[in-house]
Amino acid sequence: MAHALIFGASGISGWALLNQLRTYPTTTAFSRITAVTNRPYSLQQAQIPQDDRIVIASGVDLRKTPEQVAETIRGKVSDAETVTHVFFAAYIQEDNYDAPTVWLGKGAVVPYPGHMHGYHAKHGDTFQDILARMEIHTALHPEICGNGQAFNITDAQKPVTWAELWPKLCEHFGLVGSKPSESPQDLGAFVKRHEDVWRAIAKKYGLNEELVAQQGWGHTQYMIVDFDFDRQMDLSKARSVGFEEEIDTAQGYLIAWERMRAAKILPPREALDTLQSRI
């Protein structure tokens, strides 16, 4: 029977793998699922139902030597020798760059924080479930996906632009998304200026007050402001090995945000009707 081991199981991609391996492509595809994390982690924190197939091995620091990592895993996973599929979704951040989460009063206009040409640049986003399912698909079909092959995968073959996405995403929060202003935002500086706003929200709704400061926001700055050219991907190779799943990109964001609310990372939906602008 198949035994999946996930490195970085508490991250965006790793969590999606942990969630999808329970049921995709079937509920019996994997008889054992081992989730490896650095920090303490539980199924309750992950918002994943109790499942006897899942074992969480926390306290595995991948910055140590391979020999030390292997020894730690053997000590925490009694049946490590039965692993048949390994998924590496760990991310080691070297330099954290504090940046943004925008909280404005309902109906406020929020300009896209990047450049005008970036606003209209074509790109393909990848929802965590689509990525996880593609990774599982390739792992289960080594006869056509193996030998170190690489595959592009995004939400759909048709690319999107921030001009299409930004208004839809802002609407979800009761805001009005608009085209960029004359100068792009420095997202790190924005968050620094408004950390007190997040702390007030977090305190009111029982969230983690340190969450914003703990994030590596440089990636957000790069993806929204600096990554400002066409970068759509060709999915023909993924399609050629039988992976056909797609999702509307905006819908992927909304699903992720609902999951974040369930995990108490974002405040509840009703909070959007009561928050007032402090920015």
* pLDDT 10s digits, 74-109: 999 989 999 999 999 997 665 544 444 444 456 788
Residue 13 lies in a domain: yes
Residue 194 sits in a domain whose CATH number is: 3.40.50.720
Q: Given CA atoms 218, 229, 165, 12 in this order, what sign does their dihedral have?
A: negative
| % of residues, the chain, pLDDT over 70 | 92
With a CB cutoff of 8 Å and minimum separation 6, the contacts of 209 are 198, 199, 202, 203
Distance CA 16, CA 153 (A): 15
Confidence of residue 2 (pLDDT cuts 50, 70, 90): very high
Residue 93 lies in a domain: no
Confidence of residue 213 (pLDDT cuts 50, 70, 90): confident
pLDDT computed for residue 188 by the predictor:
87
Backbone angles phi, psi at 231, to 5 degrees: -150, 40
pLDDT computed for residue 104 by the predictor:
45
H or E segment and range at residue 118: helix 116-119
Residues 126 and 61 grouped into a single domain: no
Name the residue range of residue 154's domain.
Answer: 109-274
pLDDT computed for residue 105 by the predictor:
58
Compare 100 and 46 and report the one with higher pLDDT. Answer: 46
Residues 74 and 115 grouped into a single domain: no
Compare 7 and 103 and report the one with higher pLDDT. Answer: 7
| % of residues, the chain, pLDDT over 90 | 73
Say which amino acid occupies 18. Answer: L
